[in-house]
Homo-oligomer: A and B are copies of this chain.
């Protein structure tokens, strides 16, 4: 067989070669550029969206119909669960879960069919990447958190209500499960700090190693400030509109409580669970 010169290489092969070299370069660059600072910057941006999501959910009252499994009659789950299951199945078809940052609440979906494959940078250690506390997030959100910032009434906007719930849930899940990435970076930066406790399966010591009280305090304060800023009613002074209430759309103390009582502890639980599987 005659050897091929560069000039005789088919265009499609050249394109594939370029794609492989280019995408590998991108991955190396992306992975190597992920630092604890860049991760923290991403978490800070996610806070904004979590606060926006709460404000949006607070536009609707509690709408209890959506959460009582008995309401749908012969269905085996609540209106909100059915909506989330169907939404996630559709989102999976459109490729949402190609991105390792996204975890579904009901992960029994087919592979994506419609979006082109994309090589997301994935730095996670495979046996630890499956850490998943979605069920716990779900229960916390509906049982403990939602009643704190919604009015006890109904307005018939059930679909809009559960769609807002799903946006809140997805934002919280992405934030909390980012603990996997945080734990991986911390472990890579100084494996010697974590290895003895991992080998001893010592969750308590790992939790201590991962706890920085001053950082956590700053996060809680910043979330409070964001809820104050994003949840205020913005007026031009002279143009005050009648009928717009003056108080915050979501109480800043409720937003900061979300972080203090659940988001931060859950994230640290994900970090500990991840590290416990880091040497498998």
Interface residues of chain A, those whose CB is within 8 Å of chain B, are: 37-38, 40-41, 44-45, 48-49, 52, 55-56, 59, 65, 71-72, 79, 82-83, 86-87, 90-91, 94-96, 98-99, 102, 114-116, 118-120, 155-160, 162-163, 218, 221-222, 225-226, 229-230, 232-236, 239, 241-244, 249
Contacts and interface: CB of A to CB of B under 8 A. Distances in A.
A49 B40 contact: no
Q: Which of A55, A83, A115, A118 has the most CB of B within 10 A?
A: A115
Nearest to A87: B90
Nearest to A79: B114
A104 B114 CA distance: 23
Contacts of A40: 241-243
B244 A44 contact: yes
Contact of A157 (B41, B99, B235): B99
Contacts of A98: 156
A160 B95 CA distance: 9
A242 B41 contact: yes
Given A156-B99, A222-B235, A94 B83 contact: yes
Cβ-closest 3 pairs across A and B: A118-B156, A41-B243, A94-B159
25 contacts: A37-B241, A37-B243, A38-B243, A40-B241, A40-B242, A41-B242, A41-B244, A44-B244, A48-B55, A48-B234, A48-B249, A52-B230, A72-B114, A82-B114, A90-B90, A91-B159, A96-B159, A99-B157, A99-B160, A102-B160, A115-B156, A119-B156, A222-B234, A222-B236, A222-B239
A115 B52 contact: no
A160 B44 contact: no
Nearest to A86: B90
A120 B156 contact: yes
Contact of A37 (B90, B157, B242): B242
Contact of A52 (B52, B116, B163, B218): B52
Given A48-B55, A218-B236, A222-B235, A162 B94 contact: yes
